[in-house]
Amino acid sequence: MRATLPLIAIAAAASLLSAGAQEPAPAISAEQKKLVDYALRFTGVPYKYGAQSPAAFDCSGFVQYVYRNAVGMELPRSARYYLTVGVAADPKAPQAGDIFVYNTVGSGASHVALYLGNGTVIHAISEGPKTGVVVSAVTERYWSARLMAVRRVLSPAGQATAEGREAGPTGTHGQAAAGASSQPPAPTEAVVAELGFSIPDKPEKSTERIPIAPGTQIAFTVSNGTGRAGTFIVYLYSIDAASYKLDELHRQKVDLAAGESYALPPWTFQKPGLYRLMVKGDWGRVLLERSYVVEP
């Protein structure tokens, strides 16, 4: 979700990465080339929250999948944890395989992308002119304004950085390479997808059903885009497929100053079916509606 960020945050992000300010990157290693080539195979794959397979990806699922299967490294499953992986890298001198971490919802790290070289990243995105796995220029206004950090987990020599986590050699489909010593499985991590939206001044309804994989936790962040302080109630409903009756699952009241954001507790979508998020303002007026479908 492309949420509106405060001007201060945008200015800070712009200082990290300005057009034409990048330095030429050194020649990439064989491991870096393997990573880049593997990532590009999935260009055009659809987006789905919580998904991680060649059939569909979300942003962190894509980065984790590529690193695991291309070079045998295990990375976090959720974007919120990427600010601590590897080591910090200079946004003006990125190297192939670096991970660009973005704040797209206004409350912290919520999106990750893989640097390809030549000023481009590849990532799985849920909104915009193109969705799914796409290649974007790092200087695109939307992305450059929301950059938080660049992290390096693969050194130019093609090895894990000191702070990177090595999962052992893997084959094309994620199986241990022949002759490789067995490694303990990575700790189980709940899939948490960050989804932000701005509450509009005038009612806004979307009929598009956003796909979510079963078992995914969605951390919703609401931002007050009305231009004035207000009290809002956020509802989450399940929808009966036969009668279209709404069954209330969650309700939360939030008081927000103009431009202020609030992160709601994550909600786990377990049961397949239709869901609706609704935000009401003064006098119960519906300001925002979003529909979701949980499907295998």
Query: What is the phi/psi pair of residue 63, to 5°?
Result: -65, -45
* CATH number for the segment(s) 192-294: 2.60.40.420
For residue 28, the model assigns a pLDDT of 81
Structure tokens at 128: 């915009």
* pLDDT at residue number 85: 93
Active-site choice (80, 111, 151, 290): 111
pLDDT of residue 156: 67
Query: Which is the catalytic residue, given 59, 71, 147, 195?
Result: 59
- Provide the pLDDT for residue 230: 95
Q: Given CATH 3.40.1500.10, say whether it is the number of domain 7-152.
A: no
Q: Is 59 a catalytic residue?
A: yes
Q: How crowded is residue 46: how many other Cβ atoms within 10 Å of its Cβ?
A: 13
Torsion of CA 162, 137, 105, 151, to 10 degrees: 10
pLDDT tens sequence across 211-254: 999 989 898 889 999 999 999 999 999 999 888 899 999 999 99
What's the confidence (pLDDT) of residue 285? Answer: 93
Q: How many residues does the chain have?
A: 296
Ordered by start, the domain boundaries in the chain are 7-152, 192-294
pLDDT of residue 83: 94
The residue from 77, 80, 123, 146 that is catalytic is 123
pLDDT value for 161: 61
> Residues 8, 201: contact at Cβ < 8 Å?
no
Residues of the chain scoring pLDDT < 50:
1-12, 14, 18-21, 162, 165-187
